[in-house]
Amino acid sequence: MKRPLLIGITGGTGSGKSTVSKEIFKSIHEKKITVIEQDSYYKDQSNLTFEERVKTNYDHPLAFDNELLVKHLRDLMDNKAIEKPIYDFENHTRKKETISVEPKDIIILEGILILFEEEIRNLLDIKVFVDTDSDVRVIRRILRDIKDRGRTLDSVILQYMETVRPAHLQFIEPTKRYADIIIPEGGYNKVAIDIIVAKINSILNN
């Protein structure tokens, strides 16, 4: 089997990374594509108390288990299956269960800091930055964290002001320079997504 095509999709929290990933996924036969979320690779914190876990800055590079993520990416690129972790955002630690992921022709890696880490960045064949206005991103973050992660409105806003926004300016926004493609207003830019899908198909058909 030939080496899979590895596509990185990044951008700030709430930028529309997941939407872009889903749109690309829908445009490719599901037997040929899989998605790996960087969020699944937050470090295990089972050795900490719940009070200590709550203080974790999830927007900082040190929050991620990049060693495991790189190993899993290399395994997939060597056409080996992996056991992807599952992160429990209500309890702020990794679950004991994992998800089996088989190698596919196309692997999408989606996450806020995938272009920050040089070792990950160098593995990517196509690097996409989803660029969305900050007011849109914060509203999406509020809606997601309340609905999907069991947070309160006050806690989401406080977290955004104390850690999310500073981390975006320090770690995420500067990685835009590494991108091959920048998508404005990600998730709703059909032309940009069609261009990426066309590029993927051209590579697959070569």
For 126-172, what is each residue's pLDDT tens digit?
A: 999 999 888 888 888 888 888 877 788 888 888 888 888 899 999 99
What 48-54 contacts at long range (C-beta under 8 Å, 24+ apart), as own/partner pairs, is 48/93, 50/91, 50/92, 53/91, 53/92, 53/93, 54/92
The helix or strand, by DSSP H or E, that contains position 21, with its residue range, turns out to be helix 17-27
132 marked ligand binding residue: no
12 marked ligand binding residue: yes
CB 145 within 8 A of CB 92: no
14 marked ligand binding residue: yes
pLDDT for residue 187: 61
Token couple for 81: 């299956």
- The reported pTM is 0.88
Token couple for 187: 């998730």
Q: Report pLDDT digits (tens) over 54-81.
A: 888 888 999 999 999 999 999 999 999 9
Domain extent listing, the chain: 5-200
111 marked ligand binding residue: no
Class at the top of the CATH hierarchy for domain 5-200: alpha beta
Q: What is the mean pLDDT of residues 32-44?
A: 95
CB 89 within 8 A of CB 149: yes
187 marked ligand binding residue: no
